[in-house]
Chains A and B, each alone.
Chain A
Amino acid sequence: MKSCRDFTDLFVEMHENRADTATRQIFAEHMQACPGCREDFKWYGVTVQALNTMERVQPPREFMVQLGARLDKLDSPSLFDYFRTFFSPGSAIPIPVGVTALLAIAVTGLMLYNQSVSSFFPWANYDYSASRTDGGAAVAAQMPAPGPAEHRTKGLQGHGPVAALEPAPVSSPATSIPGSLAQSTPITPERTEAVSFMPTLADRIGADNLTVESASIPSAVESVERILPNLGGRLVEMKPFDGNREVLMRVMIPSNAYGDLTTSLINHGAVQVGAGSGVTPPTKATETDGKQVFLYIRFQRTR
């Protein structure tokens, strides 16, 4: 004895005339005996008919034009589209490779940011003083500080391997400022090699900028900050390096105040002897308006 549910399951076969004769016979008998199933089967037929006669919806007239434009875009993807799908499945680069590459770039960037170039590229650890034909603006300096005992600035030196500061000849500027700050001073053949190895990071300041060694970096910094207003200069930025063991100060001073600054540093005990007021500013290329000059001063602990 079959239940109504069993006969309901036969609706598809019965409606599409795919049931065999025996099934059809049993189904017909049940339909005669069961008004509920008969009603259901009638509505089933109406439903299928309604579905079969659903109207055909016409696409808009501009469909082909719009689709053509879309396909044109697929034929010539823009640079934006390329990067938009750069890390998506199916693009030229699989996702894991892309993610790994991004991580590698980020890690390398962080390492370069925190370390000096020379730790990665030994050839960049170049002795600038060795390439100078003019002896540099280096002044060997070591004198007692005027303030507390720890406020002792050891010297005003060329960057890199600490160069002795000597009275700087006027024609001594050497290229040192990275990137666009490269200077316009003519480069002699002897210095060509040095120039070609110039580091490009700002923290690798060059020989014509100043390195001040001090037992107390904060005190030395404070001294320079006191000097600057008197010279008409100002502090542009200050950045600690290497866990505060070094501080890089970027100052803007009038171009004719370079000598005065070094003299003031000497007067404050930063240097013993050295560049006087007649010293030419070393970084002409950094001048912003022909009157001002950017100068980097690196403070480091006394070695």
Chain B
Amino acid sequence: MGEKTFLVPISPETILIGLCLNIVSLVMTSASASADNEDAELVRQCTQGSREAFDSLVEKYYKKIYNLAYRFVGDPEEANDLAQEIFAAAYQNLKKFRGDAKFSTWLFQIASNRGKNRFKYLKRRGYFVNRGKGESDFDKESGTRDIPDYSQNPETVLAGRQIQKIVQDAIDELEPDHKEIVILRDIEGFSYDEIARMLNLPEGTTKSRLHRARMVVKEKLKKVLS
């Protein structure tokens, strides 16, 4: 028996949408490549002793790094210290950066390692247990954040904040190996490929860890919100 072939009719709108997506993808890829080249040039200048070049790299990434640090430790002051430690480590080790990967990947690799270590250290000292009993960070630090516009309804805003708090607490309860993957993938938006390279893990392991981490967070959310 011959193999059956099914031809699906494609509408002109579908083709148009496909073309648009391709163009957007090309523009984004081009912008990304340009940014990578810019980083590589700045790194080269840094290795030749230019502090200004490193300041430019800091300027470019410090918000992301701070956000990642905050997600690891869940406290503004700890996050501030951790983020500075990450940049200081990058500054000290820049000469060891061989340029095999993108600078951003390398920087986030440092950030992830340091963040995980700091998280382990704080967890051992019972930091997260004590913190959960205190005042919500959202109440304390709301002035320093970009609050998402859930809606103009205060109840919805409050519910959104509470969900954020619940999610952050759930993340804090994850194992360090799971936590870093959730942060890198779901919060920072790195691809599986990038995460696998950062953490030096097979992509399959990355996915399975992410799945298990999400399931833990899901159970926590379900328990609290149901």
Contact = CB atoms under 8 A, between A and B. Distances in A.
B20 interface: no
A56 B63 contact: yes
Contact of B211 (A12, A43, A57, A66): A12
Interface stretch (B36-44, B51-59, B115-123): B51-59
A56 B141 CA distance: 13
Interface in B139-190: 144-148, 163-164, 167-168, 182, 186-187, 189
Interface of A: 8-9, 11-12, 40, 43-44, 46-48, 50-60, 63-64, 66-68, 70-71, 74-75
A50 B144 contact: no
Contact of B87 (A46, A52, A54, A67): A67
Interface residues of B, number: 42
B186 A71 contact: no
Given A43-B221, A58-B144, A51 B214 contact: yes
Nearest to A67: B84
A51 B222 contact: no
B108 interface: no
A55 B164 contact: yes
Contacts of B87: 67, 70-71
B48 to A, nearest CB: 14
Closest 4 CB pairs of A and B: A51-B186, A59-B66, A47-B218, A57-B70
Contacts of B111: none
B84 A51 contact: no
9 contacts: A8-B215, A11-B214, A51-B182, A54-B167, A60-B144, A63-B83, A67-B87, A67-B88, A70-B87
Contacts of A47: 167, 214, 217-218, 221
B146 A58 contact: yes
A52 B171 CA distance: 13
Given A47-B221, A54-B168, A68-B55, 6 more contacts: A47-B214, A51-B167, A51-B217, A52-B189, A56-B67, A59-B83
Contacts of B211: 9, 11-12
B128 interface: no
Interface string B78-115: 01100110011001100000000000000000000000
Contacts of A67: 58, 62, 83-84, 87-88
A44 B168 CA distance: 16
A66 B222 CA distance: 41
A40 B215 CA distance: 9
A63 B221 CA distance: 33
A43 B218 contact: yes
Contacts of A43: 218, 221-222
Contacts of B186: 48, 51-52, 54
B63 A58 contact: yes
A60 B78 CA distance: 12
A57 B142 CA distance: 9
B198 interface: no
Contacts of B67: 56-57
Nearest to B143: A58
Contact of A59 (B80, B167, B168, B222): B80
Contacts of B145: 55-58
A66 B58 CA distance: 12
B215 A44 contact: yes
A49 to B, nearest CB: 10
B214 A44 contact: yes
Nearest to A12: B211
B84 A66 contact: yes
Contacts of B76: 57, 60
A270 B46 CA distance: 79
A51 B186 CA distance: 6
Contacts of A46: 218, 221
A276 B13 CA distance: 126
Contacts of B168: 54
A164 B79 CA distance: 80
B197 interface: no
A154 B91 CA distance: 74
